[in-house]
Amino acid sequence: MSMKLVRQALRGERPPPRMWRAHELRERYDAVIIGGGAHGLCCAYYLAEEHGITDVAVLEKRYIGAGGSGRNTAIVRSNYLTPEGVRFYDASLKLYERMAGELDINVMLSQRGHLTLAHNDGSLRTMRRRAEVNRLQGVESRVIFPEEIERLCPHLDVSDHPRYPILGALYHPRGGIMRHDAVVWGYAHQADARGVHIHQLTEVTGIAVEGWRVTGVETNRGNIKTGTVLNATAGWCSTTAAMAGVKLPVTTSPLQACVSEPLKPFLDVVIVSGSLHVYVSQSDRGELVMGASVDPFPSYSSRGSLSFAESLAGHIVELMPALQHVRLMRQWAGLCDMTPDYSPIMGFTPVEGFYVDVGWGTYGFKASPISGKMLAECIATQRTPDLIAPFRLSRFSEFDLVGEKGAASVAN
Amino acid sequence: MLILNCPNCGERNVSEFRNGGEYRPRPACPREKDDLQWAEYVYLRSNVSGVQKEWWYHRAGCGLWFLAERHTKTNEITATYRWRPAAASSEEERKADG
């Protein structure tokens, strides 16, 4: 709850007109963050807020929040499959729960409950395992059956008529949705207020490395000298890392999503089906926000396709037959950097001073606050925080992967 | 809709095919590689934004694994061809083998 908003509402004050300012590009910064999304801006905020590092530039090639931060389906949850994943995403959810007050912005967090449907015995088994792992980590999560599912969401067809009948679901009461743009703007506003420079329309064209040590960044607006660079890009993390000579275990695939025309509020939970590759929630404007799994082959193209709309619509109508006459309004795609184990990559790289916060696949938005906080700690203290140690880049050469099959769009 | 030209069957809809990822020559002397080199071969990818040489599998057709050159930003396919053992032991592979 943001007290400032309450005061403004009562006094009829308007918020300040600019939430962040434009600056001239300086010749040097203590730290440069590539990527002005929720992750990059959050890291800048925590560098300034918790570690007193305010001489920071955030470089964004388009406008802030133009990439994954503005293209995801705004779902937050922490009911993952691995203990490492559950601990990490739950720390993130806890930061989201107090974000409105901390950043003084209405992030419209609505913890309406999150249902992951199981359509076969295999997925039901996975749901049970996830529920147990979640509970061991102190995350409320349990398996429920069709009677309770119907009570929570009367529009779902829980009969045995569909091709893939609903056998049960993993219910996660603290999961929900929020306004992703407000998260980006909140971090941008607070980072700017602490002296961080946000540079939009600033594209990184090269990273200067001398003897395995970062010395600067080249951009379309001039060169910057710096000893610390964070790659917080999504969609271009491989090409950005390649500028510093670092090769990543990442492939980039588009993920498509869409919204329907606005409807009267009827759906007050988030519905996910791994087997049918869909997730759907109703926004405060009444639109159904729907997404699918990543496209069948890797690409940097963010064009929508008819085959996506067709298969998604088919699956949604199978889940909720009452939606058969609802029209689609908009369709878009975002780029997902997929790693072999469906877990992100955070922390040090073989190049000194070059850090990564990449490989965010389909789960980046859920982790924005905690990844920014942890990366800021990693940069400021020069050691990897325990919470993100399992997600280090070197886990691949050590054959110590974190198989996170609880991620969205993974069939389980 | 993307159309792929299968070297056996000709032009077909991309939904008939499965992408097999970017082309990475397998180390020619596997026994001489250490764990780090194997990890690099198994996990690391160039993931280029540009023309990529990659594997495709004609799943709903002749079952052929073949190579294609596709621009990863526009999805424009400039060539498709069969993999040939002779071509495989070329310069590219020797280079990959260090």
Residues A240 and A120 in one domain: no
The residue segments making up the domain with residue A302 are: 111-175+251-338
The DSSP letter of residue B33 is -
Give me the CATH number covering residue A261. 3.30.9.10
Question: Mean of the pLDDT values across residues A87-116?
Answer: 96
pLDDT at residue A73 greater than cutoff 60 = yes
Residue A411 has pLDDT above 50, yes or no: no
Nearest alpha carbon to residue A171 among A206, A193, A197, A141: A141
User: Nearest Cβ partner of A300 from B35, B46, B72?
Assistant: B72
Q: Residues of B with CB below 8 A from A250's CB?
A: 45, 47
A251 and B74 within 8 Å at the Cβ level: the answer is no
Is A82 a domain residue? no
The answer to whether residue B25 scores a pLDDT higher than 70 is yes
- Spell out a b/e string for A292-306, using b for 16 or more CB atoms within 10 Å of the CB, else e: bbbbebbbbbbebbe
- CB pair distance less than 8 Å for B44 and A239: no
Task: Report the pLDDT value the prediction gives residue B94, as an integer from 0 to 100.
Answer: 53
Flag whether the ipTM exceeds 0.90: no
> If pLDDT is split at 50, 70 and 90, which confidence band does A7 have?
confident
| A212 & A63 share domain | yes
Q: How far apart are CA A221 and CA A75, in angstroms?
A: 35
> Do residue A156 and residue A185 come from a single domain?
no
| Mean predicted confidence (pLDDT) in A212-238 | 96
Count up the domains in chain A and report the number.
2
**Beta carbons of A399 and B35 less than 8 Å apart:** yes
Tokens for A238, please give them. Answer: 């491989």
Range of the domain at B69: 3-96
- Label residue A407 by pLDDT band (50, 70, 90): low
Residue A17 lies in a domain: no
Pairwise CA distance, residues A202 & A333, whole Å = 23
| Across A59-77, average pLDDT | 96
**Any domain includes A400:** no
The C-alpha angle with vertex A404 and arms to A403 and A407, in degrees rounded to 5, equals 150
Number of domains forming the structure of chain B:
1
Does A223 lie in the same domain as A268?
no
pLDDT tens readout for residues A145-162: 999 999 999 999 999 999
Chain-wide mean pLDDT for chain A?
94
Per-residue pLDDT at A410: 52
Separation of alpha carbons A369 and A348, rounded Å: 19
Domain holding A51: CATH number? Answer: 3.50.50.60
- pLDDT digits 0-9 by tens, B33-54: 999 999 999 999 999 999 999 9
Helix (H) or strand (E) holding A132: helix A121-136
What is the Cα–Cα distance from A298 to A158, expressed in whole angstroms?
A: 35
Given an 8 Å threshold on Cβ–Cβ distance, is A399 in contact with B45?
no
Residues A151 and A201 in one domain: no
Task: Let me know whether A240 and A293 are in one domain.
Answer: no
The CATH number of the domain where B15 resides is what? 3.30.2270.10
Residue B78 in this model has a pLDDT that exceeds 90: yes
Quick one: A334 and A370 in the same domain? Answer: no
Task: Establish if A382 belongs to a structural domain.
Answer: yes
